[in-house]
Amino acid sequence: MEPTRGKWITFEGIDGAGKSTQLLWFSEHLSKCLKPLGISLLTTREPGGTPLGETIRAWLLHQPMQLETETLLIFAARFEHLATVIQPALKRGDWVLCDRFTDATFAYQGGGRGLAGARIAALEAWVQQGLQPDLTVLFDLPAEIATARRDAVRAPDKFESESHAFFTRVRNAYLRRAREAPDRFVQIDATRSVAEIRHQLEKIIEQF
């Protein structure tokens, strides 16, 4: 008998929203919840998630390229990630936690950079064949707060050095995606403290 298909959770939000801060803790917490059920958790990220995907990630961050090229490379990495990592894990019955997925492409390449949503949707349909995460946690906060948090600790990379206006467009595109798929998304007020957000994540996973 085939094992029950695992669940797939993604974290989304603008740079500096606090995804990475919560991811390690959340992944340990969720692993502990799943262990008594004999279920493993696989934690991964995009762009990346496979050796080829990590190479593509480095190109995306360091090579100048057309917006369309960037988007196609993201979806090429995504196909590899889905076919060789995510889908096999879900089929085994494992759960998958992924730091960013296609919502980020709608937010950054679509909302942020202005690529038509219909083009992204066409690639999404081709690469995902209707497959979507079961739960997407959106860390939402104003661009100004995210920038101030990031600037306090690290030098910005290519995506992070964009303007407030850019990140506001990215944020709004995320919020639009959340409105279009209210059953899949839960929103977190990411202006709250690390401890408060942890508490909220515990509740979200309990309910899920």
Ligand X SMILES: Nc1ncnc2c1ncn2[C@@H]1O[C@H](COP(=O)(O)OP(=O)(O)O)[C@@H](O)[C@H]1O
CB of 66 to Mg ion, least distance (A): 25
CB of 124 to ligand X, least distance (A): 22
Tell which one of 3, 20, 126, 180 touches Mg ion (CB under 5 A).
Answer: 20
Q: Of ligand X, Mg ion, none, which one sits near residue 21, judging by CB under 5 to 8 A according to partner kind?
A: ligand X
Return the beta strands (E) in the chain as ranges. 8-12, 41-45, 95-99, 135-140, 185-189
Q: Of Mg ion, ligand X, none, which one sits near residue 198, judging by CB under 5 to 8 A according to partner kind?
A: none
CB of 203 to Mg ion, least distance (A): 22
CB of 16 to Mg ion, least distance (A): 8
Give the Cα separation of 153 and 66 in Å (integer). 30
Q: With CB under 5 A as the rule, give the number of residues binding Mg ion.
A: 2
User: Nearer Cβ to Mg ion, position 7 or 19?
Assistant: 19
Give residue 14's region: left, alpha or beta (phi > 0; psi -120 to 50): beta
Give the Cα separation of 136 and 121 in Å (integer). 18
The candidate with the shortest Cα–Cα distance to 6, out of 133, 93, 131, 92, is 93
User: Nearer Cβ to ligand X, position 13 or 110?
Assistant: 13
CB of 125 to ligand X, least distance (A): 27
What six digits make up the tokens of 156?
Answer: 């910005």
Amino acid 58 reads: A
Give the torsion sign (CA, 101, 107, 108, 113): positive
User: Nearer Cβ to Mg ion, position 98 or 123?
Assistant: 98
User: Nearer Cβ to Mg ion, position 15 or 70?
Assistant: 15
Residues that bind ligand X (CB under 6 A): 13, 15-21, 149-150, 153, 193-194, 197
**Which residue of the chain is nearest Mg ion when measured via CB?**
20
Q: Are strands 135-140 and 185-189 parallel, antiparallel or unpaired?
A: parallel
CB of 26 to Mg ion, least distance (A): 13
Placement of tokens 């060789």 in the chain: 84
The candidate with the shortest Cα–Cα distance to 175, out of 125, 141, 204, is 141
Q: Of ligand X, Mg ion, none, which one sits near residue 18, judging by CB under 5 to 8 A according to partner kind?
A: ligand X
Q: What residues contact 204, with CB distance under 8 A and at least 6 apart?
A: 135, 137, 186
Q: Of Mg ion, ligand X, none, which one sits near residue 129, judging by CB under 5 to 8 A according to partner kind?
A: none
Query: Interface residues with Mg ion (CB under 5 A)?
Result: 19-20
